[in-house]
């Protein structure tokens, strides 16, 4: 569970780590400087002071944390933020700004790599033919006619 606290102008991520062998809890504040979530997460992960604490946390988790915190600061609900993180096939990607578009493309790349079939996979088929359900019968088009124009 994370808590969003504001100290002054910049929000901070409060890091609480348990040292089980010492029976102690220690905490730290990680400032969130940048509004661009991908760059901020990468800088935080590779920062000298935070590197030791965040090495087991993936970059994707840090990016999602930044997005949730940014949207919370803008007044959006958690459900709205999580819905925006999911890929919507009907969404018009031309209307997104560069930062959001890069994040959506990165999500699509991850999904592609996860679903990709490789030659080493046991269920790999070289020439796979798939017929899709619900495909509408094709209407004839003038481009499909056999006649050719003499002008070309």
Q: What is the pTM of this model?
A: 0.52
pLDDT tens-place string over residues 83-113 = 888 888 888 999 988 877 887 888 899 889 9
Q: Return d(Cα 2, Cα 15) in angstroms, integer.
A: 8
pLDDT tens-place string over residues 9-63 = 556 666 666 555 555 555 566 656 555 566 677 777 777 777 777 777 788 888 8
Residue with tokens 């959506």: 104
Q: Which residue has the higher pLDDT, 40 or 77?
A: 77
Q: Return d(Cα 140, Cα 143) in angstroms, integer.
A: 8
Is the per-residue pLDDT at 7 higher than 50? Answer: no
Residue 149 is encoded by which pair of tokens?
Answer: 């124009």
Q: Which residue has the higher pLDDT, 104 or 7?
A: 104
């Amino acid at each position: 569970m994370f808590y969003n606290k504001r100290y002054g102008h910049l929000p901070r991520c409060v890091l609480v780590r348990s040292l089980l062998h010492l029976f102690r809890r220690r905490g730290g504040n990680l400032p969130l400087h940048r509004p661009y979530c991908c760059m901020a997460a990468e800088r935080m992960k590779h920062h000298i002071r935070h590197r030791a604490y965040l090495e087991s946390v993936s970059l994707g988790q840090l990016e999602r944390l930044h997005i949730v915190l940014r949207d919370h600061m803008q007044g959006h609900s958690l459900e709205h933020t999580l819905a925006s993180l999911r890929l919507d096939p009907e969404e018009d990607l031309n209307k997104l700004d560069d930062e959001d578009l890069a994040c959506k493309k990165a999500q699509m790349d991850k999904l592609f790599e996860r679903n990709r079939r490789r030659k080493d996979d046991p269920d790999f088929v070289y020439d796979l033919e798939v017929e899709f359900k619900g495909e509408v019968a094709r209407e004839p088009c003038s481009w499909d006619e056999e006649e050719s124009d003499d002008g070309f």
